[in-house]
Structure 1
Amino acid sequence: MRRGKLRIYLGSAPGVGKTYAMLSEAHRRIERGTDCVVGFVEHHGRPRTEVMLHGLEMTPRRELAYREGTFTEMDVDALLSRRPAVALVDELAHTNVPGSRNAKRWQDVEELLQAGIDVVTTVNIQHLESLGDVVESITGVRQRETVPDEVVRRADQIELVDMSPQALRRRMAHGNVYQSDKVDAALSNYFRPGNLTALRELALLWVADRVDEYLQEYRGEHDIRTTWQARERIVVGLTGGPEGRTLIRRAARLAEKGAGGEVLAVYIAAGDGLSSASPKELAAQRTLVEDLGGTFHHVIGDDVAHALLEFARGVNATQIVLGVSRRRPWQYVFGPGVSATVAVESGPDLDVHLVTHDAAARGRRSLPVARGARLGRPRLIWGWLTGLVGPALLTLLLHEVVPELGLANDMLLFLTFTVAAALLGGLFPALASAAFGSLLLNYFFTPPLYRLTISDPRNIVAISIFVGVAVSVASFLDLSS
């Protein structure tokens, strides 16, 4: 037997019209030929709601005696016997009178669903169990009747019934919610504009989270990996370094600019369990992101950039926040680094923010491009001239004036121009000078002459050492200057 489907009209506050909306849905279904029966609906003396009951079949209620009084509850057995296609059951969080079949009405609804009967029901946001303390702090009233959040989350459909605080207060003033003798007290207490605004925000955020769950389920079922930018979700990549706090605060400011923005901090740990991250610093960053309303995640992955992108796409993130790299220039020989890789492979659906921080300042000053910008154009020009024209003139001088100086001495003279190019123009002119000088040494001073070949293996070693020494000296001078 198939399980029945549950549709819930979730109200942001009492009196917004969720029961009226449920009854309107019942009339629409009946017009389409659906067998729809009222299991339990309480109109609370509201004329418009009472009118909506006309024309609907209603199951007789069960009478129960309790404390010298008689009360009525929904007759679950009668509904199971009648077996309608759809049952209308109001006030899902209601507590049944002692002696009833179940303690709570949501348990009655669960029986109907298991019997294959579709149920349309209502509940207010303040009756969700997880929000009890929050609602009490806002309104000063403790909700005694609650329903577990999981029961509501399992619903096949949830429709928010909302109304602005001003419109709801007008409805109350016109006597459409409570009797006239109760209106003034209600408007002055529970139904103050601030209370209604806060309850409304709770309802909107709760439903937004539920919609996001539906979206994640759909994306997972259809294996959708691209980002759908329905909501700003910002992933912060943490390394365990002190810059993490700066990144988290920056991400929080970005999230504040978008309605419903969410921050997810993630630390990627190596699969072998070895990590240089400080557990104390990570704990402090976890506390910070949670204090700012975000969440902390610990992910295992050997390829940090790949794991970070997989996580971001898995949670449908719209932005990634990373710190500027702290790598030394020589480390780029082994790859572009996490920040650059993420920026290149993020694609058009993910925005990547590279945030500066104190720990990266020293590393940035040592980058060749940054140093070249500080040297200025004249020094760069002189560096290139020294690195390229100098070896050419030296070759002419050695070839025409002192041709028998020896290969070792020739190499030292060429090395002088490489060092001078590094001092004047930085690393790139020096590297060009080393490469150009090695070609000139090979062609003009290494047998066989005037050919780019070397007959003596010892000369191959000598020129290789020259290139290595030239590059090393040039790199050292560039980093230290």
Structure 2
Amino acid sequence: MGRGKLRIYLGAAPGVGKTYAMLSEAHRRVERGTDCVVAFVEHHDRPRTEVMLHGLEQIRRREIEYRSAVFTEMDVDAVLERAPAVALVDELAHTNVPGSRNAKRWQDVEELLQAGIDVISTVNIQHLESLGDVVESITGVRQRETVPDEVVRRADQLELVDMSPQALRRRMAHGNIYKPDRIDASLSNYFRPGNLTALRELALLWVADRVDEYLQQYRGEHNIRTTWQARERIVVGLTGGPEGRTLIRRASRMAAKGSGSEILAVYIARSDGLTSASPKELTVQRTLVEDLGGTFHHVIGDDIPSALLEFARGVNATQIVLGSSRRKAWQYVFGPGVGATVARESGPDLDVHIVTHEEAAKGRGLPIARGARLGRARIIWGWLVGVGGPALLTLLLATLDSGPGLANDVLLFLFLTVGAALIGGLLPALASAAVGSMLLNYWFTPPPPPPARPGPGDKVAQGLFLAGGGAGGGGGAR
């Protein structure tokens, strides 16, 4: 027999209607023919809740004597013997009377689940173990009965039972929650509007995080890599430089504009360890992002743009924040920067923000903007075609007994120059024009080598090569 399923009604505060909702679900299941019993439900003398118990089978309770008094608890053995399809167990965080089968009711529920019985239960947000200190600071009341967060997180179904503070206070004033002698004190203390609003926010945020876990699990199981923009997640790409603090603060301001936004700072290190950032600076940035409510992540990846995009899509991010490049102009010969590559390959599901900072203008001139739009692979192929192509063409033509003629030789070399321009942009095209003109002049312009002194016609040909390379390079980088 497989493990039973757990459904929990999570309340934002006492009296919002968790038990009522649970009993309503029980009636719906009984009407559908499901074998559903009440293992333990406490109606707290609330008339409407007590009425909902009518028509449902109730398992007898176990009586336990403790300190000259008799208490009743759920009889786990009786429920197991009855073996229903579904059991209702109220107040999951309840502490059992000493002498009971288990210390906590959630442990009783675990036994029922292990026996293959589905369980429907209830719990209030203030009873979650991780929120004990927060709830005490808000309400001034320390919750003695708690349930581990993991027990609630493992629930197969989690439903929030919510109610506005004003509506809940009206229910209290009408006597639908506590007896008349407790109403005034409750409204003046625990049930103050501020307390109820804060508890409600805690419940909404906790459930939102649980829903996000469900979403991530579903995306992983179905191998979904595209971003679902159900919630704003901002990934900050860090290099370990001082500009990282500026990026984190900028991302924090962006997150503040959208409720529920999340910040994830990530530093990507190469696996060979040849390039690494200052550990001290990364520590400062980790502290800063955590102080602002975000998280810090350390990722290993040799291809930084690909690793950054993979991380962003893995966490279902919606935005990426990067700093403007600190590279020098000559470094763009080897390809575009990380920011340009990420922006080009991010696709329509990720917004990329390039943030300027003080470090961007230090020690470099303006980059070649058009060339920066090309990928690294195109730049490399452009140089291979522009420099290697003329050399290979020269070897090929030199092996021919009778070449196609100088005019056709020029056209062949010019074709390589234009190809280098279209593939790699301006710089490979200029290099191709220079190399091609020199090879033409040395090998194919009479008289044969040693090279003749260039004449006016040769200078015109060289000028045409350079002009063609420059024009093609400008068009090829668009």
TM class by shorter chain equals: 0.7 to 0.9
Structure 1 stretches lacking a partner, 5+ long: 371-427, 471-481
Q: 1:335 to 1:45 in 2, by over 3 A?
A: same
- Counterpart-to-counterpart distance in 2, 1:265 and 1:353: 14
After superposition, the C-alpha distances for 1:169-222 in whole angstroms (9 at most, x for unaligned) are 111011111111111111111111111111111100100000000001100000
Match of 1:115 in 2: 115
Q: Does 1:455 align with 2:448?
A: yes
- Counterpart-to-counterpart distance in 1, 2:223 and 2:197: 38
Match of 1:157 in 2: 157
- Counterpart-to-counterpart distance in 2, 1:166 and 1:99: 41
After superposition, the C-alpha distances for 1:140-192 in whole angstroms (9 at most, x for unaligned) are 11000000000000000000000111111111011111111111111111111
- Counterpart-to-counterpart distance in 2, 1:282 and 1:30: 59
- Counterpart-to-counterpart distance in 2, 1:51 and 1:189: 29
Match of 2:411 in 1: none
Match of 2:50 in 1: 50
Match of 1:84 in 2: 84
Equivalent AA in structure 2 for residue 287 of structure 1: T
Asked if 1 retains the 8 angstrom alpha-carbon contact of 2:442 and 2:450, the reply is no
Aligned 1:56-455 pairs, distance under 5 A: 56-362=56-362, 365-368=365-368, 455=448
RMSD: 2.7
What SS does the aligned partner of 1:218 have?
helix
Structure 2 stretches lacking a partner, 5+ long: 371-424, 467-478
- Counterpart-to-counterpart distance in 1, 2:453 and 2:144: 89
Shift of 1:259: 1.8
- Counterpart-to-counterpart distance in 2, 1:70 and 1:459: 117
After superposition, the C-alpha distances for 1:353-408 in whole angstroms (9 at most, x for unaligned) are 000000002367433569xxxxxxxxxxxxxxxxxxxxxxxxxxxxxxxxxxxxxx
What SS does the aligned partner of 1:219 have?
helix
- Counterpart-to-counterpart distance in 2, 1:430 and 1:286: 40
Q: 1:353 to 1:53 in 2, by over 3 A?
A: same
Asked if 1 retains the 8 angstrom alpha-carbon contact of 2:95 and 2:105, the reply is yes
Match of 1:392 in 2: none
Q: 1:67 to 1:328 in 2, by over 3 A?
A: same
Q: 1:447 to 1:261 in 2, by over 3 A?
A: closer
Match of 1:3 in 2: 3
Q: 1:458 to 1:243 in 2, by over 3 A?
A: farther
Match of 2:32 in 1: 32
Q: 1:369 to 1:309 in 2, by over 3 A?
A: closer
- Counterpart-to-counterpart distance in 2, 1:129 and 1:215: 24
Shift of 1:341: 0.8
- Counterpart-to-counterpart distance in 2, 1:285 and 1:335: 28
- Counterpart-to-counterpart distance in 2, 1:429 and 1:220: 43
After superposition, the C-alpha distances for 1:254-273 in whole angstroms (9 at most, x for unaligned) are 11122210000000011012
Equivalent AA in structure 1 for residue 268 of structure 2: I
What SS does the aligned partner of 1:43 have?
coil
What SS does the aligned partner of 2:119 have?
strand
Q: Normalization by structure 2: what TM-score?
A: 0.80
Q: 1:324 to 1:429 in 2, by over 3 A?
A: closer
Q: 1:300 to 1:128 in 2, by over 3 A?
A: same
Asked if 2 retains the 8 angstrom alpha-carbon contact of 1:447 and 1:454, the reply is no
Q: 1:440 to 1:19 in 2, by over 3 A?
A: closer
After superposition, the C-alpha distances for 1:395-426 in whole angstroms (9 at most, x for unaligned) are xxxxxxxxxxxxxxxxxxxxxxxxxxxxxxxx
What SS does the aligned partner of 2:362 have?
helix
- Counterpart-to-counterpart distance in 2, 1:164 and 1:331: 59
Shift of 1:430: 11
Match of 1:479 in 2: none
Shift of 1:436: 7.8
Q: 1:296 to 1:185 in 2, by over 3 A?
A: same
Asked if 1 retains the 8 angstrom alpha-carbon contact of 2:333 and 2:427, the reply is no
After superposition, the C-alpha distances for 1:228-260 in whole angstroms (9 at most, x for unaligned) are 000001100000000000100111111112221
After superposition, the C-alpha distances for 1:116-151 in whole angstroms (9 at most, x for unaligned) are 000000000000001111111111110000000000
- Counterpart-to-counterpart distance in 1, 2:80 and 2:437: 98
Q: 1:18 to 1:186 in 2, by over 3 A?
A: same
- Counterpart-to-counterpart distance in 2, 1:437 and 1:316: 49
- Counterpart-to-counterpart distance in 1, 2:125 and 2:453: 82
Equivalent AA in structure 2 for residue 189 of structure 1: N
Asked if 2 retains the 8 angstrom alpha-carbon contact of 1:442 and 1:452, the reply is no
Q: Normalization by structure 1: what TM-score?
A: 0.79
Asked if 2 retains the 8 angstrom alpha-carbon contact of 1:268 and 1:301, the reply is yes
- Counterpart-to-counterpart distance in 2, 1:152 and 1:110: 12
- Counterpart-to-counterpart distance in 1, 2:46 and 2:345: 60
What SS does the aligned partner of 2:210 have?
helix
